[in-house]
A and B are shown apart, each in its own frame.
Chain A
Amino acid sequence: MSDRIADRHPRDSVPEALSTEAQPVVLECAGIEKAFSGIPVLKGVSLQLQPGTITALAGENGAGKSTLMKIASGQYRADAGEVRVRGELLTSGSTQSANRLGVAIVPQELASLLDLTVYENIFIGRELKGPFGLRRKMMIEEARKDLQQFGLQFDPTRKMGTLPVGIRQIIEIIKATNTGARAILLDEPSSAIAEREVQQLLEVMRALRDQGVALLFTTHKMEEMRAVADHVVILRDGGLVLDAPMAAVSDDDIVTAMIGRELEDLFPDRPEHTEEVVLDVRDLHVEGAPEPVSISVRRGEIIGLAGLVGAGRTELIEGIFGVRRTTSGTITVDGKTIKRNDPFASIGANIALVPEDRKGAGGVLSMDILDNGSLPRLKSFTTAGWLRQRARRDAVSQATESVRLRSRGLGQSMETLSGGNQQKVVFARWLTGTVDVLLLDEPTRGVDVGARSEIYRIITDLAAKGMAVIMASSDMPEILSLSHRALVLREGRIAGTLGPSELAAPDVQDRIFRLASGLSATPTTGIPTFTNKEDAR
């Protein structure tokens, strides 16, 4: 369905008028500085967006990408420097005036109206009106055209809430262009959406470029930069370290610029595991799953849970921890049976859960690092209910140091931390005490390369210390390189188990995919695999 757009892909189709001298730059940031509570986040960043180009904005978590976007779109006021949109100064620090000038931002957390229909979302705020009220038919038709233009074939009268996040994002982008945006800023557009939707998103971005729109997007994925970006801008610690045409730089240049050092091996060596079983899950029936599941994990062992979205990985992990209802089965840790459906009992048995949705389930954003860090083990910092501040502070600061958290101090609010650092807090809060079983759900989703390798190191270090680890992940290299054994889930069942020798086999990815999707075991051609998605282009 996206062929039509792909045909338009060649760059020479950019309308001539848009690349003349009259408006050479759509959006210009000059010498932007911003500090939060005296800590500089941006130290004089300048950047220009030309019409009909896509610029990738990369950098580690906390490098200042989101802050720069928020300043460019008028959400934050810069301490110094200026933002110009087509030559006009963006002064007021408001999103509305930025919108009027033609800059729109599609934030990481979408603000769609889920109970309204797609066309209502597209037209909200500039509804088509006739003498008898809203001209719904006309809006539906217009919306249908818009959707088709971006290769989306569905009814615009569908409720927004019934669509996957990736499609909602595309609709937000359509809405932004319809309001006349000439510069669109996308904050981590691919971090929360499925692989297939990423491809769709990239197509939409290309189509917009060809219409002369300037796009700026943040991403952690090299393959996305390679796929669509003309230009790459890299921030490190609030400063601009690289601003170059994509074609002029190698992957290594980009990674080095991002982390400021050569990237050692992304994955550390797997630790040796013992034969002693720590976690034993027997016939655990998670509510809604078709059949019970059994897993046993040994001390120091990392078990990977692979599978497609909706295969029941999160459900299984949550079931073990007790936050999702289980109807039968036993869970034993070190030979002791623990009470099911009781997270408090699980924590007491030294089980820890790092959930998938950091913002929704991991941390309490309105609280600071210290409070977040002490939540799961409050008992160990209290005497008769009173907090022992010194002990709490020491334990949390030790734990956050062990995960190399970058923050302004324990009093920093969780919501002002970058994604990778939030994840580190969610890890660290368990490390103030003993953990025997560590349950991880997508531990590196939305986390940049530098923090990612640090998180891998944390995981293997913890396993080496004797923890039993279960890690659900959609990232195939993560499963293959970190886990001792991989379980492939399909529709709530364990479809297959792969041992060390099978994980090392050359055809392992194909095999996992077959198990995960329920295809027959005989290899056929033309089936997409998990990696090298870009090769198809």
Chain B
Amino acid sequence: MTTEALTPTGRRRIDAKLIRHIAIRYAMVIVLLLVMCFFAYRSARFATPDNAITILVAAAPFALIAIGQTLVILTGGIDLSVGSVIALSSMTGALAAKTFPDQIWIAVIVSVVVGLIAGSINGFVVSVIKVPPFIATLGMLTLASGAAYVVGSGAPINGLPESFGAIANTRVLGLTIPVILMIIGIVGLGIVMRRTAFGLRIYAVGGNPLAAQIAGIKTGRVLFSVYAISGALAGLSGLMLASRVITGSPTLGQGYELDAIAAVVIGGASLLGGRGTIWGTALGLLLIQTLNNGLDILTVPAYWQNVIKGILIVAAVAVDVWAAKRRV
């Protein structure tokens, strides 16, 4: 991949050209490292193992919806509904936990299945009725949000059994369950996208739906499945969030879809579909979470945090756009 940097003898020279090549190829990694260096320089509390765990814990619920979002965006679509699906699944999961306090697995299944159903409805509306994804999932955003309030008659569901809280707060090998799920999700889907026919079909449908259809790919089925997966992952994310605070809340996950979309785009995916990777999304997610965490540590006021975050997100993508042009 660095053929230009090879001398005629085949030895790699370290010169301006090679450095430029690396800078262009790994622009986003470099941005992330610079941001980390800045925070580490400004605060001794940033570069500690404990803080690294804190970042991962905060990232986990976003990671689940961001990887689902990546699949959707790769097909050229978008899923705006994941934030409210989180709210709905946290409410239904909490309700199930309250109703069956001794069989907590029911709550787990209910949360995930509610997410899966919401995602499947999105998938059906997009792939069969052919409503544009933006509109279809905007509808689901409103619907699921409303439904989340309906479940608890407008109020959060409290007083849940201990065992419900154990779901997200149990540690295995020093990591909480959501962090483990995040790692499994990223590595698993990352491999699936590279190594399976399913992954290849997603790229094909996003890159050129007509060509994909002529190659015998059932494009509708691929579209349906990415929305269903995105929904199920949002359901899982809702369960984790509700379990962490041992409460089901209709405002949980509000606005999360935007951070997830930002992570995917920062990760280098094209909103037109066909281009992007799970690894890129993981990188984008890490950048956003590092910013959240670092600005907190520096005790930047919350409103200013948003201002800075907004600027940095656009700047990060601008760097990527600049680098992408020079990759040709």
* Chain A residues within 8 Å of B, Cβ to Cβ: 35-39, 76, 321, 323, 343-344, 346-348, 353, 355, 360-367, 371, 374-376, 378-379, 381-382, 385-387, 389, 429
Residues of A within 8 A of B201 (CB): 378
Residues of B within 8 A of A343 (CB): 213-214, 216
B198 within 8 A of A: yes
Verify B196–A385 contact, CB threshold 8 A.
yes
Verify A353–B214 contact, CB threshold 8 A.
yes
Residues of B within 8 A of A375 (CB): 200, 204, 211-212, 215-217
Asked whether A37 and B3 contact (CB < 8 A) given A371-B200, A376-B215, A382-B196, the answer is yes
Bound-complex Cα distance A75 to B108 (A): 55
Bound-complex Cα distance A336 to B195 (A): 34
Verify A366–B207 contact, CB threshold 8 A.
yes
Query: Interface readout for B170-209 with A: 1 if CB under 8 Å, 0 if not?
Result: 0000000000000000000000000111101101101110
B210 within 8 A of A: yes
Verify B203–A364 contact, CB threshold 8 A.
yes
Output the residue of B3, B195, B200 with the most chain A CB within 10 A.
B200
| B211-264 interface with A by 8 A CB criterion | 211-218
In angstroms, how far is the closest chain B Cβ from the Cβ of A364? 4
Residues of B within 8 A of A76 (CB): 328
Residues of A within 8 A of B123 (CB): none
Residues of A within 8 A of B213 (CB): 323, 343
Q: How many A-B residue pairs have CB under 8 A?
A: 88
Bound-complex Cα distance A393 to B198 (A): 17
Verify A361–B211 contact, CB threshold 8 A.
yes
CB nearest to B208 among chain A residues = A364
Residues of B within 8 A of A38 (CB): 3-4, 6
B280 within 8 A of A: no
B309 within 8 A of A: no
Verify B214–A364 contact, CB threshold 8 A.
no
Residue of A353, A364, A389, A429 touching B274 (CB-CB under 8 A): A364
14 of the cross-chain contacts (CB-CB < 8 Å) are A38-B6, A321-B214, A343-B213, A343-B216, A344-B217, A361-B214, A363-B208, A364-B203, A364-B274, A366-B274, A371-B203, A374-B200, A375-B217, A379-B197
Verify A385–B197 contact, CB threshold 8 A.
yes
Verify A386–B203 contact, CB threshold 8 A.
no
B275 within 8 A of A: yes
Residues of B within 8 A of A387 (CB): 195-197, 200
Bound-complex Cα distance A38 to B3 (A): 6
Verify B197–A378 contact, CB threshold 8 A.
yes
In angstroms, how far is the closest chain B Cβ from the Cβ of A282? 23
Residues of B within 8 A of A389 (CB): 195
In angstroms, how far is the closest chain A Cβ from the Cβ of B73? 13
Count contacts on B: residues with CB < 8 A to the other chain.
Answer: 27
Residues of A within 8 A of B214 (CB): 321, 323, 343, 353, 355, 361-362
Residues of A within 8 A of B216 (CB): 343-344, 346-348, 375-376
Verify B200–A429 contact, CB threshold 8 A.
no
Bound-complex Cα distance A355 to B214 (A): 8
In angstroms, how far is the closest chain A Cβ from the Cβ of B19? 17
CB nearest to B327 among chain A residues = A37
Bound-complex Cα distance A321 to B213 (A): 11
Bound-complex Cα distance A387 to B275 (A): 20
Residues of A within 8 A of B1 (CB): 37
Bound-complex Cα distance A381 to B199 (A): 13
Residues of A within 8 A of B197 (CB): 378-379, 381-382, 385-387
In angstroms, how far is the closest chain B Cβ from the Cβ of A430? 9
CB nearest to B221 among chain A residues = A344
Q: A363-B211, A366-B275 are in contact. List 8 more A-B contacts (CB 8 A).
A: A344-B217, A344-B218, A346-B216, A353-B214, A361-B208, A363-B208, A371-B204, A376-B215
Ranked nearest first, the 4 interchain pairs of A and B with the lowest CB-CB distance are: A38-B3, A364-B207, A347-B216, A375-B215
Residues of A within 8 A of B203 (CB): 364, 366-367, 371
Bound-complex Cα distance A387 to B4 (A): 31
CB nearest to A35 among chain B residues = B4
CB nearest to B216 among chain A residues = A347
Residue of B198, B210, B218, B274 touching A360 (CB-CB under 8 A): B210
Verify A367–B6 contact, CB threshold 8 A.
no
Verify A367–B274 contact, CB threshold 8 A.
yes
Bound-complex Cα distance A498 to B264 (A): 57
In angstroms, how far is the closest chain B Cβ from the Cβ of A76? 8
In angstroms, how far is the closest chain B Cβ from the Cβ of A385? 5
In angstroms, how far is the closest chain A Cβ from the Cβ of B53? 33
Output the residue of B203, B207, B211 with the most chain A CB within 10 A.
B211
Bound-complex Cα distance A121 to B314 (A): 32
Residues of A within 8 A of B275 (CB): 366
Residues of A within 8 A of B196 (CB): 382, 385-387
In angstroms, how far is the closest chain A Cβ from the Cβ of B150? 38
Residues of B within 8 A of A371 (CB): 200, 203-204
Residues of A within 8 A of B274 (CB): 364, 366-367
Residues of B within 8 A of A346 (CB): 216
Query: Interface readout for B1-32 with A: 1 if CB under 8 Å, 0 if not?
Result: 10110100000000000000000000000000
